[in-house]
Structure 1
Amino acid sequence: MLGLALAIAAAAHPAPRPADPVLGTWMNRKETVTIAISRCGPALCGRVVWAAPSAIEAAAEGGTPRLVGTMLMRDFRPAGRNVWNGEVFVPDLGQTAQAEMALVGPGQIEINGCQFGGMLCKRQLWHKTSAPR
């Protein structure tokens, strides 16, 4: 009887879902933008938590007046082992593109975004960092 009660209790409280390895704070290769990737409902998203003056200026020229706080990554969902698909917002262009994010090494992700049916693509490497500057 005790075994049945424990089984029911375990079913009522499932084990926590393992953390995605991409959750946390990431900086681009030029070290001009830092984003925090977190859960947004069933998906992942990334918001700018720090930006260098040069990135802020480029974003403003592209039509994004306030870079810090801007959601750059939206609705990223698992698409395979250590791969997620979603949308990226490119603030210096003021445009959104379909993208793939992949964990490519310890503390390193690659984000590939494409527009116009794959005619125009951009790839960026980001490294994990402890906190925004």
Structure 2
Amino acid sequence: MIWKLRLAGLALAAFVITQPALAADDPTGTWLTQAADARIKVTKCGANLCGTVVWLKQPMDTDTGKPAVDNKNPNRALANRPIIGLQLFEGIRADGPNKWSGKIYNADDGQSYVSHISVSGPDTLKVDGCVGSLCGGETWTRSQ
């Protein structure tokens, strides 16, 4: 009986050792915003991180009945871009251990904000943004 337990223990140890480990500070994946109204897919794009809208709770504009577009963008040439597929991160790159900094575009007001991102748990991403000295943040959760 003891040899069976040892064999099982060895098999379990071999399984754990051969499994790829997810880095505790890896921001890549798909994240649900704090308001649960959008999912953002974070990928590596060279030295930067890309953050793309891949899902919206309300994908259709209730006024037009058409897919939601970036109509708050002050650049009228960009105001007809669909929100789904929109790249939100601008120059987000590593800024220390478990910290990335750059700008994040907010389609709700058409503005970009200085931002900092960090992984705050296995399934949580802290996203902070600042306008001048006023800062705020939210926590995104990993989407399964």
TM-score, L = length of structure 1: 0.72
- Within 5 Å, give how 1:33-52 maps onto structure 2: 33-52=38-57
Structure whose residues are more often helix by fraction: 1
Cα distance in structure 1, aligned partners of 2:53 and 2:100? 19
- Within 5 Å, give how 1:4-23 maps onto structure 2: 21-23=26-28
Letter in 2 for 1:118: S
The structure that has the greater radius of gyration is: 2
Q: Which stretches of structure 1, 4 residues or longer, exceed 2 Å deviation after superposition?
A: 54-65
**8 Å CA contact 1:43, 1:76 repeated in 2:** yes
Q: How big is the shift at 1:74? A: 2.1
- Within 5 Å, give how 1:22-101 maps onto structure 2: 22-53=27-58, 60=70, 62-63=72-73, 64-65=79-80, 66-101=82-117
Letter in 2 for 1:41: G
Q: Where does structure 2 lack aligned partners over 5 or more consecutive residues?
A: 1-21, 63-67, 74-78
**8 Å CA contact 2:37, 2:56 repeated in 1:** yes
Percent of aligned pairs with the same amino acid: 29
How has the CA–CA distance of structure 1 residues 55 and 22 changed in structure 2, closer, same or farther, with 3 Å as cutoff? farther
RMSD, matched Cα: 2.4
Structure whose residues are more often strand by fraction: 1
TM-score, L = length of structure 2: 0.67
1:14 maps to none
Count of equivalent residues: 111
